[in-house]
Amino acid sequence: MNKPLRATDLQPDDDGPLYTAQKKIYPQSVTGPFRRIKWILMAVCLGIYYFLPFVRWNRGLGAPDQAVLIDLANNRFYFFAIELWPQEIYYFTGLLIVAAIVLFLMNSLGGRVWCGYLCPQTVWTDLFYAVERFVEGDRRERMRKAGEGFKLQRAAELALKHSIWLMIAWWTGGAWVLYFADAPTLIKELVTFDAPMVAYIWIGILTFTTYTLAGFMREQVCVYMCPWPRIQAALTDEWALNVTYKYDRGEKRSSLKKAAQLRALGEPVGDCVDCNQCVAVCPTGIDIRNGPQLDCIQCGLCIDACDNVMKKIGRPTRLIGYDNDINIHRRMEGKPEIFKPIRARTVIYTVIIVAIGGAMLYKLANRTLLDVNVLHDRNPVAVRLSDGSVRNGYTVRFLNKRGFDRVVAIDVEGPPNAVIHVVGSDSITPDRPMIILGRDTTTELRVLVDSNSADDTPQSVPVTFHVTDIGLGEVASTKDVFVTP
């Protein structure tokens, strides 16, 4: 067997290998406004994620008192005052659409702000980097240690780092399962090993994924696994603000000393002193001065790094900043900068968000606690009875979303002289069947409707089922058709 060659084995005039091994990145710590924003957002996001399951919300007797709960066993979703049934899954569809459009809107205004500040991958990777920095030291120290051989001190450091990482990862998985069951009860069960196996499995899965994705994969998730960089490239336009190296101001690069000499002579020289700080702090290891690129998650840390240098050398800050191509060209032509947040695409995105969000809020505000759905028999669609009248069969589903049993009457409206029968129920009055709906359940019944419609009646007439709560007077209705053979 021949050993495959490494890139360094090749002659300089070679084209080079198509593949190279991943280069390990040692981002340097940095201070500044963007770093501060990231710390605050990290605290807020993780705080919500880790502690939300413990927030209580009183829903009365028999209902869970957890503010946010995905109750898979009973097919209910609770979000503070909102309770959703499987029949109301469209709220989630709406939420997903709104979320996608919000992402588009963010992108058209400020580039990949999601990636840089809010994406879970970024937030957890940032947290893991903070641990790494705390245990092993900053960039130079870490690079030096990586090059050194094995030492006991080093082993202790690594053990500490991985234990903290694993604890964070384990807590991440633990918090996840708390959203699916009553949190205090589940914690008790988890500790006493009484919890369902699925809870332990999910904790295991999330511990593993958090540990590997935030600890080892890091920027590779953004570059190789995530589809969003590809999508956002198609969504952005020349007006979108992106983390940009203002080459009109920065070029030509030179050393601090040389730049001072040239400036004294009145020669053209840029502000960039090629200190490489923007590269050193970058968590994806790129050089922002190469222009917009797929690997850039636009976290703004290079802005902080560059600003710190500019302050030190007494040059104006924001050599790297949120900017766009249009302004670079305008500055080069000597025109003032302009920013245009109100554009066709931002307006359209906003309108869509408001429309869908408004429709969902409207629907939520008018949510009914009594509902009825109907399904017409298909085989046979209609039956002729011996006296010549016509019978249609329906499967009717009643939804009682209240926390108590109630008695409802069923009326039918539409076909001439319609008479309704409920199969297998004791009707209190023969003409107006009444049934009991259990609390917080659906009830499915077979309902037959007879009509003495004559032979010349139309083939299909609309029929409306009214369900009336005898006690509360709530009415729910649904429409279908009554078919004549």
Partner 1 sequence: MADHSHHVEIDKVTGTATTGHEWDGIKELNTPLPRWWIWTFYATIIWSIGYFIVYPAWPMVNGYTRGLFGYSSRAELDVDLAKLDQVRGEKMQALATASLEEIEKNPALLALARAKGKVVFGDNCAPCHGSGAAGGKGYPNLNDDDWLWGGTLEQIEKTIKFGARSGHDDGHMGNMLAFGKDGVLTKEQIVEVANYVRSLSGLSTRPGVDLAAGKQVFADNCVACHGDDAKGNQELGAPNLTDRIWLYGSDEATIIDTVTNGRAGVMPAWIGRLDPTTIKAMAVYVHSLGGGK
Contact pick of 95, 385, 407, 428 for partner 1 (by CB under 8 A): 385
Helices (H), 215-316: 219-220, 228-235, 247-250, 256-265, 277-281, 301-312
* Residue 431 makes contact with partner 1 by CB under 8 A: no
Which one-letter amino acid corresponds to residue 2? N
Q: Is 448 in the site for partner 1 (CB under 8 A)?
A: yes
Q: Which listed residue (71, 189, 377, 474) binds partner 1 by CB under 8 A?
A: 377
Does residue number 405 form part of the binding site for partner 1 (CB under 8 A)?
no
Residue number with CB closer to partner 1 (333 or 387): 387
Stretch that binds partner 1, among 86-94, 118-126, 193-201, 442-450 (CB under 8 A): 442-450
Q: Which position among 230, 333, 366, 387 is part of the footprint of partner 1 (CB under 8 A)? A: 387
Q: Is-contact 328 246, C-beta < 8 A?
A: yes
The residue behind tokens 């009991």 is 436
Residue 439 in contact with partner 1, rule: CB under 8 A: no
| Nearest distance from C-beta of residue 14 to partner 1, angstroms | 5
Question: Strands of 68-71's sheet, edge to edge?
Answer: 68-71, 76-79, 82-84
- Give how many residues touch partner 1 by CB under 8 A: 34
Scan for tokens 């797929």, then name that residue. 294
Whether omega before 380 lies within 30 degrees of 0, making that bond cis, reads yes
Distance CA 4, CA 7 (A): 10
Residue 9 makes contact with partner 1 by CB under 8 A: yes
Q: How far is the CB of 377 from partner 1 (least distance, A)?
A: 7
The distance of closest approach from Cβ of residue 41 to partner 1 in the complex, given in angstroms and rounded to an integer, is 42
Which range, of 159-167, 237-245, 253-261, 379-387, touches partner 1 by CB under 8 A?
379-387
DSSP code of 217? Answer: I
What phi-psi label fits residue 61: left (phi over 0), alpha (psi between -120 and 50 degrees) or beta? beta
Would you say 19 or 150 has its CB closer to partner 1?
19
Residue from 58, 153, 192, 386 that binds partner 1 (CB under 8 A)?
386
As given in the structure block, the two tokens for residue 275 are 């200190």
Minimum Å gap between C-beta 471 and partner 1 is: 21
Question: Please, which residue, 7 or 143, has the CB nearer to partner 1?
Answer: 7
- Please name which of 384, 394, 396, 395 lies closest in space to residue 451, comparing C-alpha atoms: 384
| CA triple 345-350-353, angle to 5 deg | 125
Angle among Cα 366, 367, 372 to the nearest 5 degrees reads 120
> Does position 7 bind partner 1 by CB under 8 A?
yes
Please state the closest distance from residue 5 (CB atom) to partner 1, in A: 4
State the alpha helices, DSSP H only, in 111-148: 113, 120-136, 139-147
Residue 241 or 418 having the CB closest to partner 1: 418
141 binds partner 1 (CB under 8 A): no
Tokens, residue 254? 């030179």
Residues in contact with partner 1 by the rule CB under 8 A: 1-2, 4-7, 9-10, 14-15, 17-19, 377-380, 383-388, 391, 393, 421, 423-426, 443-444, 446, 448
